[in-house]
Structure 1
């Protein structure tokens, strides 16, 4: 009896030890915690070279998307204050300006495309080539309508306007490249000439190339008003070459034949400068930067505010 009791006690002890070992062999474990996803890297920013390339490309292709205003044949052209009877001459001056600007814009656009340099984005060279070939076909077609004030006609203006309206690239468009390449789309948004304030290029002048968006000016105070002009807005007072007038928007200014200009001068203010057309290639004046045309008359820009200016004329 004592022997059986000892055996039973030993079995109980061994069983307990076995249970303890079993529990130790399979300890309870918690499921591994899921690690947080790594933060996404910040989007790449376009290099300055790509922004500059986009800026020049947009200026070179502006004629495809934005058509210069076509002067109209009103049948009742506006007269100049103080100089009645010159409405028809004003109209012809506007026609001549248009007929000469379109070939200039076209030639300058080709020059910009020729000078774009290596493509900074895949497909850039093919895109530029499609625009270039279309402009090269357009140039001789519009250049044959170049005219001075005396020979410009509404018919020629209409034909040139039709040619410009029909202008299409021979390859992919800038919009196609923006859709395909997000980095180029960013560069396009940062380029000044790709926005609404972009400009048409002119032969030999290139375009201002900005490599970052221009921040809006901080308006600490309102711009001062234009100073008074001795002759008010009476541009007819300039006929003898001596006047000081205020102009608003594109304004024809009559000058006597002795100044060797073709009848009238076209002044276009756009702060901070004024462009003068009618004596060959357009020239630009600004406050502190007078211009002399054909060695016969000097124009001093007294002040410019937006699309208004005060001009002072004097014989050279």
Structure 2
């Protein structure tokens, strides 16, 4: 029988060498895992740090608008407000004319006043818009061009309208002009809409006082602060009383309590005093709201309402 001792020793040595190799491989593999894990852990930390840095970064601030842009936007808002007020006033004037006695003097007088004043208001806005330079914001400049196109068209058509048209057709003539006025609505996109897409324009809109809600032109604001003349107070004494013949040379101050036919400096004027003062000549009708109103008849005559109340009006006739 073969001997078993030596074989067991050889077998033990081989087993020992095999176990040593196995442990070496395991240690090497573990080291590799640690190395890979360490690298991976480092990358994850850096990514989290980067994400944290990005999250804590301050948002980019919008550069303040230039003074020129703020003034440009303010001018645009002022013109837009003027046209908005004109549309409102025009509709109210047309309603008042329609509610007057059809074909009567009051309706004609109101219509003449409307047809005389409305074109001048539109022309004033046209001048203001034309005075605006380019803003430097392409979309805003396109808006200005669109506004000018609208206003220029209306001004051209209003040039064809004569106040004398009110004598033949008070309501029809004013309705035609009102239709033109109501067409003066802001082109799209308007200024607030453009501001939503342009931070500089939006910032200028916020800074321009004319763009603030409820803003009114200086003259309107001053008028709101000044008390209106008391319509029930006593009238001042007229220098010439009720002597209308004193006006023949074109210079007088008279009291009219209802109606009067006055010839001054060769101009024959029929005066009617009621809630307002109306002056009518063969070719002209003018209606004045009250104290401070002025009616001019070319270079021949000017009439100023010195004072007015429920009892009549004191009128001053002069030669311009």
- CA deviation after TM superposition for structure 1 residue 94, in Å: 1.8
Closer/same/farther in 2, CA of residues 314 and 103 from structure 1, 3 Å limit = closer
Q: Is the 8 A contact 2:296 2:303 kept in 1?
A: no
Question: CA separation in 1, counterparts of 2:178 and 2:192?
Answer: 24
After TM superposition, the structure 1 = structure 2 runs for residues 99-118 of structure 1, keeping only pairs within 5 Å, are 99-118=115-134
CA contact (8 A) 1:126 1:171 kept: no
Paired with 1:280 and 1:40, the residues of 2 have a C-alpha distance of: 66
Shift of 1:88: 2.7
Residue aligning to 1:242: 254
| Structure with the bigger percentage of helix | 2
The counterpart of 1:267, out of the listed 274, 277, 289, is 289
Give, in angstroms, the shift of residue 188 of structure 1: 3.0
Contact preservation (8 Å) 1:239, 1:255: no
Name which of 170, 174, 187 aligns with 2:191.
Answer: 174
Q: Is the 8 A contact 1:192 1:198 kept in 2?
A: no
Aligned pair 1:69/2:75, yes or no? no
Asked if 1:135 is matched to 2:151, the reply is yes
Task: Please say if residues 243 and 314 of structure 1, whose CA atoms lie closer than 8 Å, have aligned partners that are also in contact.
Answer: no
Structure-1 residue corresponding to 2:19: none
Change (3 A) 1:239 1:116: farther
Q: Which residue number in structure 2 is paired with residue 254 of structure 1?
A: 278
CA spacing shift, 1:196–1:224, aligned 2, 3 Å: closer
| Larger CA Rg, structure 1 vs 2 | 2
2 CA distance for matches of 1:155 and 1:256? Answer: 20
Unpaired segments ≥5 residues, structure 1: 1-31, 79-86, 200-207, 246-250, 282-292, 303-310
Aligned to 1:196: 214
Cα drift, residue 196 of structure 1: 3.4
C-alpha deviation, 1:95, in angstroms: 1.4
- Asked whether the equivalents of residues 60 and 108 of structure 1 are also in contact (C-alpha less than 8 Å), the reply is no
Distance between the aligned counterparts of 2:181 and 2:81, measured in 1?
Answer: 11
Give the TM-score normalised by structure 2.
0.52
Deviations 1:235-293 (A, max 9, x none): xx999653599xxxxx6313586xx9944432378xxxx6x465379xxxxxxxxxxx9
Does structure 1 conserve the Cα–Cα contact (< 8 Å) formed by 2:294 and 2:302?
no
> 1:19-58 to 2 correspondence within 5 Å?
37=56, 45-58=64-77
8 Å CA contact 1:254–1:265 kept in 2: the answer is yes
Matched, 1:157 2:179: no
* 8 Å Cα contact 1:46/1:187 also seen in 2: yes
Q: Is the 8 A contact 2:113 2:287 kept in 1?
A: no
Q: 1:155 deviation in Å?
A: 0.8
Contact in 2 for aligned 1:178/1:184 (Cα 8 Å) = yes
Question: Aligned-pair distance for 1:171?
Answer: 5.8
- Per-residue deviation, 1:118: 2.9
Structure-1-length-normalised TM-score: 0.52
Q: Is the 8 A contact 1:77 1:91 kept in 2?
A: yes
For structure 2, which runs of at least 5 residues remain unmatched after alignment? 1-48, 245-252, 258-274
1:207-255 deviation line (CA, Å, top 9, x unaligned): x69xxxx9xx9x9xx97995963239xxxx999653599xxxxx63135
In structure 1, C-alpha distance between the alignment counterparts of 2:122 and 2:280, rounded to whole Å: 32
The 1:299–1:166 alpha-carbon spacing in structure 2 relative to 1, beyond 3 Å, is closer
* From 145, 152, 165, the counterpart of 2:161: 145
User: Root-mean-square deviation (CA), in Å?
Assistant: 4.9
Deviation by residue 1:56-84 (Cα, 9 ceiling, x = unmatched): 21233346645133322445549xxxxxx
Q: Which has the higher contact order (CA 8 A, sep 6+)?
A: 1
For residues 173-226 of structure 1, the C-alpha deviation after alignment (integer angstroms, 9 at most, x for no partner) is: 223223223443343344444343445xxxxxxxx69xxxx9xx9x9xx97995
Q: Could you say what secondary structure the match of 1:196 adopts?
A: coil
Partners of 1:171 and 1:178 lie apart in 2 by 13
Quote the offset at 1:130 in angstroms: 0.8
